[in-house]
Structure 1
Amino acid sequence: MNGTAMERSAAFAGAQRLPSSKLELFIRRDFLTPDECAGLIDAIDAGRRPSLIADDQGDALFRTSETCDLDPAAPLIATIDARIAAFAGLDPLHGEPMQGQRYAVGQEFKLHTDYFEPTGLDYARFCAETGQRTWTVMIYLNQPDAGGATRFKVPDKIVQPETGKLLCWNNLLPDGRPNPATLHQGMKVRRGVKYIVTKWYRERPRPK
Structure 2
Amino acid sequence: MPVVDAAWQEWLRTNAARGCTMDSMIGAMVQTGFAADAAAKAVHGAFGAFGVVASGAAASPVAAGGIEAALRQTAPSAPGAPGVQRTPYAYDHGPVARGNTIRAFDRDVQVLMRCERPQVIVFANVLSPEECDEVIERSRHRLKRSTIVDPATGQEDVIRNRTSEGIWYQRGEDAFIERLDQRIASLMNWPVENGEGLQILHYGPTGEYRPHFDYFPPDQPGSMVHTARGGQRVATLVIYLNDVPDGGETIFPEAGLSVAAKQGGAVYFRYMNGQRQLDPLTLHGGAPVRAGDKWIMTKWMRERAYV
Q: TM-score, normalised by structure 2?
A: 0.61
5+ residue gaps, structure 1:
1-6
Match of 1:40 in 2: 135
Amino acid at match of 2:291: R
**Contact preservation (8 Å) 2:96, 2:188:** no
User: Is the aligned partner of 1:147 residue 2:247?
Assistant: yes
How much does 1:173 deviate?
Answer: 3.5
**Contact preservation (8 Å) 1:44, 1:102:** no
Match of 1:60 in 2: 159
Match of 1:15 in 2: 111
Alignment of 1:42-191 (within 5 A): 42-55=137-150, 60-71=159-170, 72-191=172-291
How much does 1:59 deviate?
Answer: 9.5
5+ residue gaps, structure 2:
1-93, 103-109
Aligned mates of 1:105, 1:56 — CA distance in 2: 28
SS of 2:149 mapped into structure 1: coil
SS of 2:205 mapped into structure 1: coil
**Contact preservation (8 Å) 1:56, 1:62:** no
- After alignment, is 133-142 or 47-56 more displaced? 47-56
**Structure with the bigger percentage of helix:** 2
Indicate how the Cα distance of structure 1 residues 53 and 194 shifts in structure 2: closer, same or farther if over 3 A, else same.
same
Amino acid at match of 1:127: T
| Identity value in percent | 29
**Contact preservation (8 Å) 2:166, 2:201:** yes
Aligned mates of 2:208, 2:283 — CA distance in 1: 15
How much does 1:76 deviate?
Answer: 1.8
Q: TM-score, normalised by structure 1?
A: 0.89
Amino acid at match of 1:75: A
Aligned mates of 2:292, 2:97 — CA distance in 1: 37
**Residue of structure 2 aligned with 1:195, choices 272, 281, 295:** 295
Indicate how the Cα distance of structure 1 residues 11 and 73 shifts in structure 2: closer, same or farther if over 3 A, else same.
farther
Aligned mates of 1:198, 1:114 — CA distance in 2: 11
How much does 1:74 deviate?
Answer: 2.2
- After alignment, is 167-176 or 75-84 more displaced? 167-176
Amino acid at match of 1:43: R
The structure whose RCO (Cα within 8 Å, separation 6+) is larger is 1
Amino acid at match of 1:31: V
Indicate how the Cα distance of structure 1 residues 26 and 128 shifts in structure 2: closer, same or farther if over 3 A, else same.
same
SS of 1:18 mapped into structure 2: strand
**Contact preservation (8 Å) 1:11, 1:88:** no
Match of 2:17 in 1: none
User: Is the aligned partner of 1:204 residue 2:299?
Assistant: no
Match of 1:3 in 2: none
Deviations 1:142-173 (A, max 9, x none): 01222111101111011000000011111213
How much does 1:11 deviate?
Answer: 6.1
How much does 1:55 deviate?
Answer: 3.3
How much does 1:185 deviate?
Answer: 0.7
Deviations 1:5-54 (A, max 9, x none): xx94746723244334x211111112110000000111221211000001
- Structure 1 segments, 4+ long, off by >6 Å, are 56-59
- After alignment, is 170-179 or 192-201 more displaced? 170-179
Q: C-alpha root-mean-square deviation of aligned residues, in Å?
A: 2.2
Aligned residues: 200
